[in-house]
Amino acid sequence: MRSPIRTRLAAVLAALALVLAACGDDDTGIAASGDPADTDAAEDTTEAAEGAEDGAGEATFPVTVTVDGTDTTIEAEPQAIVSLSPTATEMLFAVGAGEQVVAVDDFSNFPDDAPVTDLSGFDPNVEAIIGYDPDLVILSGDRNDVVAGLAAVDVPTIVLPSAMTIEDTYTQIEVVGAATGHVGDAAEVVANMQTDIEELVAQLPEQGEPLTYYHELDDTLYSVTSDTFIGEIYGLAGLENVADSADGAADAGGYPQLSAEFLIDADPDLIFLADTKCCGQDASTVAERPGWSEMNAVQQGDVVELDDDIASRWGPRIVDFLAAIVEATADVDAGVAG
């Protein structure tokens, strides 16, 4: 069982994983999603696959995919995929490659039929991985020289770092589709996501002024600004982030730790809790915080309890994340208690 300290640290680093160097004993950034951080590789947008498509819209092999300037050639359609990234696991199953997946890491808790093992994406072990005789391994970062170790035994790897934009999500899904022989399926997933997002945005009520919000990463009040992947999703819903104006927010790389005094004074229309699993937070615990019971969102019942994983993974379920945001805005009047 993980200690409370490590659980809390994992929640904080859910955001820091996207842009900051990690803290902790192994210098590894950890996202609440279960995806280790890759702070360098996330700087460039993932490039689309270079493989050709046949008449049915599926990739022909061999195929070469390129991510952040690194080429990976896959000689034949993989039949024994190991995923050490919960987000990649969700992408694999979404594009129809689930039956090709033989093992996933211990944080890959979605979908339910993913073959969860004790493999770790935080501390990957080459010997443990090759015990599953993989013909493709997908990770969110290269730790313990795992990529070189797998290359030494001729196992191709793809590193899909934390997405910095929604477009990065789309291109990563396309890469996964090309690498696994599901080009057409991946294109359909992306198209459906884009359509669903457009429809959700169209449902947004008209507001005389933008609703304000606070997104909570953990109960020590780490948050996000608009200049983040999470912030971009809130931006689609037309919400205004109170964290943007916090002192030091820009210097925090988009992931500032706010003060209770700042938040009480900002009095956001909506409070979104992405720490319900990691830190046991809900509307009642928020109301019990000193001074918070007087906040607009608390009094009006506009404290939104999110699924930590959905709110931190950059895979197909970002649509579910946006849907939760849109639903929460339906009956909220900006500044109703102001």
Residue 111 in any domain: the answer is yes
Which of 161, 195, 229 is the last residue in one of the domains? 195
Which pLDDT tens digit goes with each residue over 36-85?
765 444 444 344 444 434 444 555 899 999 999 999 999 999 999 999 99
Is residue 328 scored above 70 in pLDDT?
yes
Please tell me whether residues 137 and 246 are part of one structural domain.
no
> pTM of the prediction?
0.85
Whole-number Å distance between alpha carbons of 31 and 41: 15
The one-letter amino acid at 57: G
Condensed to tens digits (0 to 9), the pLDDT of residues 152-168 reads: 999 999 999 999 999 99
Range of the domain at 57: 44-195
At which of 195, 223, 256 does a domain end?
A: 195
- Work out the number of other CB atoms within 10 angstroms of the CB of residue 38: 23
Q: Are residues 213 and 150 in the same domain?
A: no
Q: Which pLDDT score, from 0 to 100, does residue 335 have?
A: 53
Q: Examine the fold and report which residue of 174, 195, 216 is the final residue of a domain before the chain moves on.
A: 195
Burial class (CB within 10 angstroms; exposed 0-12, middle 13-18, buried 19+) of 160:
buried
Indicate the number of domains in the chain: 2
Q: Which CATH number fits the domain that encloses residue 86? A: 3.40.50.1980
Whether residue 214 sits in one domain with residue 124: no
Cβ-based neighbours of 275, under 8 Å, separated by 6 or more: 11, 32, 216, 217, 218, 219, 281, 308
Does one domain contain both 228 and 300?
Answer: yes
pLDDT at site 313: 96
| pLDDT tens track for 87-125 | 999 999 999 999 999 999 999 999 999 999 999 999 999
Is the same domain home to 165 and 266? no
